[in-house]
Every structure is written in structure tokens, then in C-alpha cells.
């Protein structure tokens, strides 16, 4: 769903600052913030609150970095229904770009977790050493999601962000080195591992770049 970002007349200009306060963000230019009526305002606020709830719910399936796949799968249909309802409520609404960013990331996170849960079902934690590592690096991609905020921005202000990021990076390097040491690995298994390593590297790069950009550490 694409919602236009072009400027429209603002029906209640005073609502701009009120919504910024409610969403906990600074004021922005009028050409980005576009509210035409009270109904749009209400829809945006409701969508924002529900998206925060969904985001926290998704993170609850990753306690201490583990992926509770059974609990997640039992909640998939309900979460999907909520996301559909948000789309319906925002349909035709000329509204708030940051809420749309949040919707995009929460949907991406949800779909990534579905994909990871499916891949974990096809992996064997107690299988061969190579199969075990495929499982570990697959789960790692879900664990990395806990380092983002609800808008898909690395949450460098969270407690332990630097430590968790460093630990995940070290684990990834150890598993990759160990996997490469195995003499014979079936092609299908090797491709699963490499695809997940590629995805983890891509995510780690984003997470590390934000940390470095904000001057929290010099290197990881």
C-alpha cells in the first residue's frame, strides 16, 4: 500500500504539534506532515499504537535471543489480521510518513520471522555438526531483529546494544569458520548456510554502521 507524500491543505493545523507530542517525536516540515481531517488523525494514532503493540509482541517471541517458534506460529494468524486491519484503516488516508515507515518495518519483521520459523522447521538442531550450524545461523537472523526499533532503525540507545552486536558478530564468525572446516557438505546444506550467512552479514553491517556513525565505538 502506497500513501502519497505530496502536500495537501491541513484541516487542523494545531493537530500537528499534538500528534508529535503523542508520538514522542520532534516537529517536522508541513510538506511531510499532511493531515486533512480529524478522521485521518484518529486513524494514524490508532495505527501507531497498534503497530507498537505488534512490534513488542513480535519481540516477545525472541527472549534472550532465542526464537520461540511454536508460540510465534500460534500467533501468526492473529498478527496478520491486525496488520490487515491497519492497512484498511489507513487506506485513502493522507497521513504520517513515520507511521508508514513503522508499518513497513513491522510487516518486514513479521515476514522475516515467518521465513525463519519455516527454515528452522526444516533444520535439525541435533543433527550433524553442519546441520547444527545451519540451524544456529538461521536463528541468528531472527535474533538480530531485536536490535532494531519499531521503525527499523538500529536501536543504539538500548541497554547492551554494543555488547549484543559484538557477541552476535563473534558467533557468526565462529560458526562460519567452523562450517568451512568440514571436508564434505551436501550442496543443499551448504547453500542454506551461505544464504543465511549472507543475510546475517548484511544485517550486521547495517547495525555496525549506525553504531560507528554515532561514535559509540571505534570498531567491532
Please give the full DSSP string across 60-86, using - where no structure is assigned: HTSGGG---HHHHHHHHHHHHHHHHHH
Question: Both 14 and 102 in a single domain?
Answer: yes
Question: Both 115 and 17 in a single domain?
Answer: yes
Three-state DSSP at 152 gives: coil
Tens of pLDDT, residue by residue, the chain (220 residues):
333 333 332 323 333 444 444 444 444 334 334 444 556 778 888 899 999 999 999 999 998 768 999 999 999 999 999 999 998 888 766 657 788 889 999 999 999 999 999 999 988 888 899 999 999 999 999 999 999 999 999 999 999 999 999 999 999 999 999 999 998 899 999 999 999 999 999 999 999 998 777 765 433 4
Q: Does residue 102 form part of some domain?
A: yes
pLDDT score for 179: 96
Question: Both 194 and 212 in a single domain?
Answer: yes
Q: Does residue 52 form part of some domain?
A: yes
Question: Both 36 and 101 in a single domain?
Answer: yes
Domain span at 116: 7-121
Question: Both 131 and 80 in a single domain?
Answer: no
Residues 3-28: b if buried by 16+ CB within 10 A, e if exposed: beeeeeebeeeebbeebbeebeeeee
Question: Both 88 and 104 in a single domain?
Answer: yes
pLDDT score for 139: 95
Of 82, 103, 121, the position where a domain reaches its end is 121
Q: How many domains, the chain?
A: 2
Q: Are 96 and 33 in contact (CB under 8 A)?
A: yes
Nearest to 112 by CA among 212, 202, 205: 202
Distance CA(117)–CA(142), nearest Å, equals: 9
pLDDT score for 24: 47
Long-range (24+ apart) CB contacts under 8 A made by 25-29 are 25/98
Distance CA(176)–CA(128), nearest Å, equals: 15
Of 121, 143, 171, the position where a domain reaches its end is 121
**Model confidence, pTM:** 0.77
Q: Are 135 and 178 in contact (CB under 8 A)?
A: no
Question: Both 82 and 167 in a single domain?
Answer: no
Question: Both 132 and 41 in a single domain?
Answer: no
Distance CA(106)–CA(25), nearest Å, equals: 19
pLDDT score for 146: 94
Q: Give one word for 160, left, alpha or beta, with left for phi > 0 and alpha for psi -120 to 50.
A: left
Nearest to 55 by CA among 120, 2, 101: 101
Q: Is 120 exposed, middle or buried (0-12, 13-18, 19+ CB in 10 A)?
A: middle
pLDDT score for 94: 60
Of 121, 153, 169, the position where a domain reaches its end is 121
Distance CA(177)–CA(36), nearest Å, equals: 56
Question: Both 105 and 28 in a single domain?
Answer: yes
Amino acid at each position: 500500500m502506497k500513501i502519497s507524500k505530496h502536500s495537501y491543505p491541513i484541516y487542523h493545523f494545531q493537530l500537528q504539534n499534538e500528534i508529535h507530542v503523542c508520538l514522542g517525536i520532534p516537529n517536522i516540515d508541513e510538506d511531510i506532515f499532511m493531515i486533512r481531517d480529524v478522521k485521518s488523525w484518529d486513524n494514524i494514532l490508532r495505527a501507531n499504537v497498534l503497530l507498537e503493540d505488534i512490534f513488542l509482541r513480535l519481540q516477545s517471541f525472541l527472549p534472550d535471543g532465542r526464537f520461540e517458534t511454536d508460540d510465534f506460529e500460534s500467533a501468526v494468524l492473529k498478527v496478520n489480521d491486525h496488520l490487515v486491519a491497519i492497512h484498511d484503516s489507513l487506506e485513502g488516508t493522507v497521513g504520517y510518513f513515520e507511521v508508514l515507515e513503522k508499518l513497513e518495518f513491522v510487516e518486514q519483521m513479521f515476514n522475516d520471522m515467518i521465513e525463519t520459523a519455516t527454515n528452522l522447521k526444516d533444520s535439525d538442531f541435533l543433527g550433524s555438526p553442519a546441520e547444527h550450524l545451519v540451524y544456529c545461523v538461521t536463528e541468528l537472523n531472527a535474533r538480530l531483529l531485536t536490535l532494531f526499533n519499531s521503525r527499523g532503525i538500529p536501536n543504539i540507545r538500548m541497554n547492551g546494544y554494543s555488547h549484543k552486536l559484538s557477541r552476535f558478530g563473534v558467533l557468526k564468525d565462529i560458526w562460519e569458520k567452523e562450517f568451512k572446516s568440514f571436508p564434505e557438505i551436501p550442496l543443499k546444506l551448504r547453500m542454506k548456510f551461505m544464504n543465511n550467512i549472507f543475510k546475517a552479514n548484511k544485517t550486521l553491517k547495517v547495525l555496525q554502521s549506525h553504531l560507528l556513525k554515532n561514535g559509540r565505538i571505534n570498531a567491532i
